[in-house]
Each structure stands twice: as C-alpha cells, then as structure tokens.
Amino acid sequence: MTRFALTLEFDGGPFMGLQRQAHGPSVQQHVEEAVQAITGEAAVMHAAGRTDAGVHALAMRAHVDIEKPFDPFRLMEALNAKLRPQPIAVLACEIVPDDWHARFSCTGRSYIYRITNRRAPLTLERGKAWQVSAPLDVPAMHEAAQHLVGHHDFTTFRSVHCQAASPVKTLDRLDVIRDGDEIDIHAAARSFLHHQVRSMVGCLVLVGRGKWSGDDLKAALEARDRAALGYNAPPDGLYFAGATYS
Amino acid sequence: MTRFALTLEFDGGPFMGLQRQAHGPSVQQHVEEAVQAITGEAAVMHAAGRTDAGVHALAMRAHVDIEKPFDPFRLMEALNAKLRPQPIAVLACEIVPDDWHARFSCTGRSYIYRITNRRAPLTLERGKAWQVSAPLDVPAMHEAAQHLVGHHDFTTFRSVHCQAASPVKTLDRLDVIRDGDEIDIHAAARSFLHHQVRSMVGCLVLVGRGKWSGDDLKAALEARDRAALGYNAPPDGLYFAGATYS
C-alpha cells in the first residue's frame, strides 16, 4: 500500500460539498471514482477540511491509499484526465508516509473569503464572490476582526449542525484587506467550526456597513449563543486556501 | 436626446460576441433590449471595440441615445436589473456631450490576455484563461514582444475577416508579466486589427516554449503574410480592459 497526498483545486458551484453526500454530487465521490477507474481498487479519500455546497478550494489537501505501485506524476495526470469535465483538478501528487493523514496530521488551515464591494451584479466572478452593494468600511472591519483573534468559545459563530467536540478554538489570523472593489478576508487557525468563517464574515460586513460597532461584535462573541449571530455570509465567496503540516 | 456613456463588464462565454449577430445572442442585443424595455424607445448601442465570441470585458465603453430624460445612476440600476440573469453588468453610466462617440472618439484601447501556466486543467478559471501545460519562458516572451511594439504592418497577425482599412497600426505596449502560475500579457494601442491580440499571444507562447526565437517572431511580422502566423490563441483568456478618450 502506498499513500498519495493530493492537492486539489475545485469550483464548489456544482457540488453538494467536498464530502460524499447521499443526495447529490460531491468532490469526494468524483475523486474516489477517478482513483477506482485508474487503479481498479476501491478508494477512500480523506481531506484536510469539509467544505459546504458552493464553497471552493484553491489548495485542499487530501490522501488516498493505493495497493498497486504508481508514479505520482502519472497518477496526477491520469486523475486529471478522468476528472474532466468536472471542475476539479489535482495540482500536486506525492507519496507520503503511511502515518501521514490529510485530516489528522493537519496543524493549520486557512481560508480566504472574497467580497466584491460594488453596486453592479457580478459577471466574471458570479458564484465566486459575495457582491455587497453598500460601501464597506474596511479599516473598521479589520479592527473589529481582531476581537475574534485568539482563544475563544465560538458558539455564536457555529452552525447548529457542527459536529466538533468543543466550540473553543484558537483563531490565529483574521485580516480584512481591500484592493479596489475586492475585499479579501484571510482567516487562519488550527481548525474551524462548521460555518465559522462565513458567520464571522457576515458579522464583519455588518460592521463594515456601520450597523454594528466593534463592541457589538465582541458582545456577540461573548454571548456564546447562535441567536446572537448577525448574519451568515453565502458560500460563493469562500475558498479553502491551504493546509499546513508541521 | 441625451447621450449616456456606459462602462460594461461581461463574461463573453455565453455570447457570439459583443456585436449583434443574426445567429446567436450578443452583448449588444441584450443591452439594447434592456434600454428599450426601460425607455420604450428603440435603442442602438455603439461600443469602443468589437469582441469575438468567448472574449470578456472588464471595462468596455459604449453609448446609447435616449429621448426621455433619465438620471444616470437610476438608468444604471434599471439596466443592471433588466440585464439579469445575463452575465453583463453596467459598472458606470454618465451623460456625455452629443458628439462624444464610444468608438470614434476613442483614442486608446487596452487588452489583457491571461494564461494559466500549469499541467492541471482549469477549474475556477475555466473559460476565463488559456491553460498552457508546457513551462513558458516569460523573460524570453517579454523580450520578443518588444519586436512588435511600434508602427508596423500587422498583416501576419490579422484575421482574414478583418474589416480595417489598413493593416498598419501602432502598438504602444506589449508586456508579459508572470505572477506564480498566471501570466498576463498587457497590450495597448490606439486600435487593433481583428484577432491581433490573440495572434500575437499565440506566437509569444511559441517563443515561451522555445519553439520560436525572438528573431522568428520578427521574421513573422516582416513577412506581412497571414500564413507566417504561428498560432492563434483561444478567446477564453482575452479581456477588453479599457478605453481612453483624450
């Protein structure tokens, strides 16, 4: 058996999410079927994160175990050929030790949330960003975001469907950066709760619109109550950006 | 009568081109129908450039004449509402003098051609860039590109369907810039021949792959013969980036 680590890029638009779902197509299903078609072996893919329907990935890390020997480059090429026409691409493929696990060995995850701040509807970025019409005060958003950085109980920013054992997480980074009409929110942590990034972004947009102060955001965090959540941002703008292993 | 200048962004994927076509949908048709639905007047749109099927625009400039008085901001909002769900957006709308003409007053046009230089197929950028698998030598491409800058007979880089009176044009800028896997080619001129940017990009990629030298590109230009063209790049990566009026 050889364990292959994959780096996946995908457009989340057509999928019910990364994880296999009974009720629709998933990234996991397509990758597993591609591996199976190439190797003739049943395959199970494990990934660093579980992304929701409509959420994209720039560099999701995953692994699969294969009995037959394969050259990693040729496996990558074969997977990319089999995955067409699905918008899923294998950017890198390498052999890793048998005890390396895409999910359990992962020590850091990062996301980017992309907002297009303008009146006009999206065309080229449709499904790839959240269009917010009202002008956003980015310095206020960035300053408020710093209340969320650190070790906190993030119950307010957690989906009711979240399966994590604890709502306490350490958020390492939450930066809000404007470049013209585009606002990128960079989030990094060892791990995130379900809907955490989208929930934090939704509340930061309330701050950017002047509807919430930084103190309101702090109070929402401290409430540790999902009912205190201001707004959950749509999946379109969310990208799983990277996973680190140390 | 009031003349309104529009700044349009569009995803060229679903259209036969910017210009009205008998055999399929065009950007012009959708904008004219939207104006007509709002004003009740027959409308004709004039644009700074004529883009082909699959070619995108970041900031195409155009104008329409309307008899009834309209506030430009409200006209823009109404057009964006009517244009949904087409991937065409009006980014700006302003009143201009009656003798201002989106095409004939335009003194400069710029394009960006986007290449993704990697083995893996495109996912998030599908239809929005040209994926080139072979590693490209960007400094060699940029250096060769400078042979094309200046006042030349561009017959080699001109479609047989080109309607321009003369093949002689002055190319002001042709820069090739890499940022990771993405290579952007920036072209600027008073005006371009039909397929000129795609034809220049196709030949620059031959240079980047080491199949052509800079001298080969120069010889192709000097041949003034369409048969000397190396390769015509696909429309997917081409963006009309802007028009200037001075």
Pick from A6, A123, A131, A133 the residue to mutate for testing the B interface (most B CBs within 10 Å). Answer: A123
- Residues of B belonging to the active site: 52
pLDDT at B1 over 90: yes
What is the Cβ-side half-sphere exposure of residue B138, based on CA atoms within 13 angstroms? 17
A245 annotated to bind ligand:
no
Amino acid at B194: H
Residue A123 is nearest to which of B11, B77, B124, comparing CB atoms? B11
**pLDDT tens digits for B101-158?**
999 999 999 999 999 999 999 999 999 999 999 999 999 999 999 999 999 999 999 9
Q: What are the tens digits of pLDDT across the range B72-117?
A: 999 999 999 999 999 999 999 999 999 999 999 999 999 999 999 9
What number of C-beta contacts closer than 8 Å exist between A and B?
62
| Known binding-site residue numbers of B for substrate | 111
Nearest-angstrom CA–CA distance, A136 and A192: 25
| Averaged pLDDT for residues A212-225 | 96
- Put simply, the answer to whether B120 touches A90 (Cβ < 8 Å) is yes
Predicted confidence band at A197 (pLDDT cuts at 50, 70, 90)? very high
All structural domains of chain B: 2-96 (3.30.70.580), 108-244 (3.30.70.660)
The shortest C-alpha distance from A159 to chain B (Å) reads 27
In the block, residue with structure tokens 């934090």? A200
Distance from C-alpha of A199 to C-alpha of A229, rounded to nearest angstrom: 7
Cβ(B243)–Cβ(B100) below 8 Å: no
Residue A246 has a pLDDT of 87
Q: What are phi and psi of B203, to 5 degrees?
A: -70, -35
Percent of chain A with pLDDT over 70: 100
Question: Do B58 and B11 form a contact (C-beta atoms < 8 A)?
Answer: no
Residues of A in contact with B121 (CB under 8 A): 80, 83-84, 89
pLDDT tens per residue across span A136-191: 999 999 999 999 999 999 999 999 888 888 999 999 999 999 999 999 999 999 99
What integer pLDDT is reported at residue A161 of this predicted model? 85
Find chain B residues with C-beta within 8 A of A80's C-beta: 119-121
What is the mean predicted confidence (pLDDT) over A225-241?
A: 93
pLDDT of A215 higher than 90:
yes
Comparing alpha-carbon positions, the chain A residue that sits nearest to B56 is A124
Q: What is the residue whose two structure tokens read 């800058």? A: B149
Residue A137 annotated to the active site: no
Select the residue of A56, A90, A120 nearest B89 (Cβ to Cβ).
A120
How much of chain B exceeds pLDDT 70, in percent?
100
pLDDT at A200: 97
Tell me the chain B residues in contact with residue A58 when contact means C-beta distances shorter than 8 Å.
124
Q: Alpha carbon of B146 to those of A178, A224, B173, B207: distances in Å?
A: 34, 61, 8, 13
Instruction: Identify whether the C-beta of residue B76 lies closer than 8 Å to the C-beta of residue B206.
Output: no
Query: Shortest CB distance from A10 goes to which of B89, B90, B123?
Result: B123
* Closest residue on chain A to B9 (Cα): A123
The mean predicted confidence, pLDDT, of chain B is 96
Chain B positions touching chain A (beta carbons under 8 Å): 9-11, 56, 58, 76-77, 80, 83-84, 87-91, 118-124, 126, 128
